[in-house]
Amino acid sequence: MADINSIQEEQAPDTEPKASLASKLQGVLAPMQGLLDKIAAIDHPLVQKFKQNKVLLYSVLGGTALLIVLLLLLLILALMPSKSTKSPKQTPQESVSNEISQEEVHKLLATPLPAPDDEAQDSSVDNLIIKGNVLYDQGYRQEAYEVFRKIADFSQSIANYNLGTMELKSQLYHDAIAAYNESIQTGQNISASAINAAVAAFKIDRFDLYGHYVKVANDNLSEIINEPFYSYAYALTSYYEDKYFETLSPLLNPNSLEFSEQNHRLAAHIFTIFGDDSNALEHLQAAANPEDNKSMGLLYARKAEYAQAKTHLIRFLQNHPNDVEALMALQIVELKLGNYAAAASSLDSITSDKRIHEIAKVTYPIKVVINPELFDVSIAQKTFWERDFENKDKIGYKMLFYFAPYRVFDAKLVLEEITQASNFAQLNITEGKNILLRSATTSKIDREIIRTLVALETKDLRQALAFLKNATKSNPNHAILYYNLGLVYAQLGQYDDAYAHFIRAYYLDQNDYLSGIFAVLTGRFSHKDTERVVFDMVQSFQDHEIQDHIANPAWHTFVENFLNYLNDNQIQESDWIAQAKIKEPIFYALEFVYALKNKNKQGMLENINALKAIFPNDVVVNILAVLTKNFGESLQDISISMYNLFNTDTLDLRPLYYGGALPRELYVYTGFITGSLQNQARIIQNHLTAKDDDPRGALQTLGTINIYQKDFQKAYTIFNMLVDELQENDSHTRFLTAVSAVGAGNYGDATLLLQLAKMETPTAYEARYALGLLYQAAQNYKAAATNYNFVSLADFRSEFFDFQIDTQKIYAYELESNAPPTSEQ
């Protein structure tokens, strides 16, 4: 790829000699030039040693140049006709010279010596020789000598310029400056030589010389104003004076197309400085060759067009397989594309070569950040119902957990005992059967479950969890207890624990389809393979279909429709709820998520209104009711409705203070997309101040609000208090603590917290991905690759984490590498 700073271009002469004298001069000079070329091409050690001795080399070159000039003058004198005798035969050139009128000679005398043509140097010399010949023939000896002196100066300027260019390309910057300076002293090619001398001075950090030569180039631009490379030289001078806007004008409006490649390359560089990647890419493509695939790949990556970036980087690496910049860039692009296995493979390949590994550590370091899409209100408003980070049916699954009934053995007995102690507004319970239990035992366990139900009626999931954990210790083989425990975990958002208890409940009682179905739902959150469970349930359901339908038609239809939902099949009946004697809330919830999957707004409205009739003050039901009215539309117009809802005195906010994941997430996220977070934070803070009870749920809500407000340090303080002081040690709370730690820049704490979350929940893909990024940022590529490989096993996209190129580290590396060596004490 040609250097964008190279002004002179070597071109073959494209003009024929225009005089016999010129032809003969070339006849003499050509063998000498050929001899010099042959000597230069000799690969003998003595010749190489001779060429490396600059003093000796320049002395011989100078002597040779002097000899050539002397031969030139002797030949001219020898070939000139005598004043006293006239040759009987004249050459065509002499004839032309003699035919020139005196007026034309005076006009020739008045014409300034032609400036050298840098695009056809030999042609410029030819023109000078012809002019000198004409003047000499007409008797203007002094003027002819001036022309011949011009030839010698011009040849010296070109020789020094070309020598300087060779030295510059060989990175012999001091020698290049000396050669260009000699070229400048001849008074020819001043701007071109000065620009390249400035480049060489910049390379060796001689900013005093750099500034000097830039000024020389700028002061002498007028000498080349009619040359084809004038606009490019003007652009270069402006560029090296840091006048980037001024640089673009001559590049975009060149005075010639002869330097179009250099124009496009410099323009691409300038547009990159301005951050205009699209125009930079357009200009680079106009001059691109295979060596530019890396640069084009990087520009596509900057534009987030990762597929095109990958294509160009792979093309470049086919010819340069050990180029560390391209290898690291491709690895980063694979991460952005979600090709985690390929990203891990790239890191493994890099670490296998010690030299490449060391260079890679300072090449494109990354910095872990919170995913910017998490805070993009416009995206959130448009895609609220279609967010698929964790699971394509995330909202639907959580709704089903929220409205699922808790189980008792004898619902009538339980209701009688509860009614004596408390007046419940709505008990979401149903009877369950466990063939392993006798009646005496069931009564005893029901009394244990009553304590749980009382806690659940007050929305205190954590207290209910404690009761159920104690009950299962005393009764380790009772399916109903494990179902209830799994449901509490699912509502708290602890899906791995929920899966473990649901699957145990199902295998303790395989007639319990609801435990099996919920095991599948929680397993999908945790990326478990649940196909066998689904197959077993479908087979069992078909084997007992007739007797189950006779025993309880509504529940049988509910299970059938739920299994269809798991398998993405259509619902079988539309009016089954109306025919049910007991209309369970989960019946409406299932119909709602079915309608949601089918984008049936009317069906969603009917079922959410039915739930609102059962739970008129419930915060989840009321939020979903407002959102459903605007289904399929942008949610930016519901701000007033949501603000009024959150400030309603009758709204039951206990699920926020004591409850689980869905109320908290809906409350915070809808506040985020409607701009109500400040008001909501005030409501939660007032509750924490006024109430002296368990603050964990309220603190989790407040911490999540602070994350969406980007107040990461405050969020980290709250979540850290939950983990360290209040012993809220579940993996989800640890994870949110890690999220806020990353946002606050506490990467060490984030790594530790994510390690703990991973140990507690091995399938936590968000934690695994974040750990991979953090390890890569810390240059521990093997650990990063391990985590990327684990994530690659699932169709995963991170909701919370992303990364950027750490430009501060790059600057630090550059400063460190350019720092002068320190003397040892």
The residue ranking higher by pLDDT, 308 or 65, is 308
Q: What SS3 state is found at 68? A: helix
Torsion of CA 119, 120, 122, 127, to 10 degrees: -120
Asked which of 227, 251, 270 is the last residue of a domain, the reply is 227
The residue ranking higher by pLDDT, 535 or 10, is 535
End-to-end C-alpha distance for the chain, whole angstroms: 46
Percent of the chain with pLDDT over 90: 40
Kindly report, residue by residue over 565-611, the tens digit of the pLDDT.
988 887 766 688 888 888 899 999 999 999 988 889 999 999 999 99
The residue ranking higher by pLDDT, 689 or 13, is 689
User: How confident is the model at residue 701, as a pLDDT?
Assistant: 94
Note whether residue 646 is domain-resident: no
Residue 618 pLDDT > 70, yes or no?
yes
Residue 551 pLDDT > 70, yes or no?
yes
Residue 201 pLDDT > 50, yes or no?
yes
Residue 350 pLDDT > 70, yes or no?
yes
Instruction: Give the total residue count for the chain.
Output: 825
Kindly report, residue by residue over 28-64, the tens digit of the pLDDT.
444 444 444 444 444 544 445 444 544 444 444 444 5
Banded model confidence at residue 123, pLDDT cuts 50, 70, 90 = low
Note whether residue 582 is domain-resident: no
Residue 443 pLDDT > 70, yes or no?
no
The residue ranking higher by pLDDT, 440 or 789, is 789
- Work out the mean pLDDT of the chain and round it to a whole number: 80
User: How confident is the model at residue 641, as a pLDDT?
Assistant: 85
Residue 759 pLDDT > 80, yes or no?
yes
Mean pLDDT lowest for which of 442-456, 509-523, 775-789?
Answer: 442-456
User: How confident is the model at residue 575, as a pLDDT?
Assistant: 81
Q: Look up residue 807 and give its two tokens.
A: 């430009």
Residue 740 pLDDT > 50, yes or no?
yes
Note whether residue 635 is domain-resident: no
User: How confident is the model at residue 236, as a pLDDT?
Assistant: 86
Note whether residue 44 is domain-resident: yes
The residue ranking higher by pLDDT, 232 or 415, is 232
Q: Mean per-residue pLDDT for 327-351?
A: 96
Banded model confidence at residue 82, pLDDT cuts 50, 70, 90 = very low
Asked which of 206, 227, 248 is the last residue of a domain, the reply is 227
User: How confident is the model at residue 210, as a pLDDT?
Assistant: 86
The residue ranking higher by pLDDT, 11 or 27, is 27
Residue 299 pLDDT > 50, yes or no?
yes
Confirm whether pTM is higher than 0.75.
Answer: no
Note whether residue 368 is domain-resident: no
Range of the domain at 212: 20-79+93-227
Q: Look up residue 147 and give its two tokens.
A: 């022309």
Structurally, the chain folds into a number of domains equal to: 2
User: How confident is the model at residue 398, as a pLDDT?
Assistant: 93
User: How confident is the model at residue 107, as a pLDDT?
Assistant: 63
Amino acid sitting at position 581:
K
Asked which of 169, 203, 227 is the last residue of a domain, the reply is 227
User: How confident is the model at residue 192, as a pLDDT?
Assistant: 84
Residue 3 pLDDT > 50, yes or no?
no
Note whether residue 198 is domain-resident: yes
Mean pLDDT lowest for which of 134-143, 160-169, 524-533?
Answer: 134-143
User: How confident is the model at residue 223, as a pLDDT?
Assistant: 79
Where residue 536 sits, what CATH number does that domain have? 1.25.40.10
Mean pLDDT lowest for which of 138-142, 611-615, 802-806?
Answer: 138-142
Kindly report, residue by residue over 158-170, the tens digit of the pLDDT.
777 777 887 888 8
Note whether residue 575 is domain-resident: no
Mean pLDDT lowest for which of 280-284, 426-430, 483-487?
Answer: 426-430
Note whether residue 286 is domain-resident: no
Q: Mean per-residue pLDDT for 800-810?
A: 90
**Mode of pairing for the β-strands spanning 406-408 and 429-431:** parallel
The residue ranking higher by pLDDT, 511 or 498, is 498
Long-range Cβ contacts of 293-301 (<8 Å, 24+ apart): 294/320, 294/323, 294/325, 294/326, 294/329, 295/268, 297/326, 297/329, 297/330, 297/333, 298/329, 299/272, 301/329, 301/332, 301/333, 301/336
Q: Distance from CA of residue 786 to its chain's centroid?
A: 21
Q: Mean per-residue pLDDT for 256-285?
A: 91
216: left (phi over 0), alpha (psi -120 to 50) or beta: alpha
- Cα–Cα distance, 560 to 542 (Å, whole number): 9
Question: How far is the CA of 59 from the CAs of 51, 56, 176, 180, 371, in angstroms?
Answer: 11, 5, 17, 17, 66
Mean pLDDT lowest for which of 79-83, 491-495, 653-657?
Answer: 79-83
Residue 549 pLDDT > 60, yes or no?
yes
Residue 134 pLDDT > 80, yes or no?
no
Banded model confidence at residue 500, pLDDT cuts 50, 70, 90 = very high
The residue ranking higher by pLDDT, 584 or 385, is 584
HEC string of 281-346 equals HHHHHHCCCHHHHHHHHHHHHHCCCHHHHHHHHHHHHHHCCCCHHHHHHHHHHHHHHCCHHHHHHH
Residue 441 pLDDT > 80, yes or no?
no
Which residues, 6 or more positions from 741, have their beta carbon under 8 angstroms from its beta carbon?
712, 716, 747, 749, 750, 753
User: How confident is the model at residue 140, as a pLDDT?
Assistant: 78
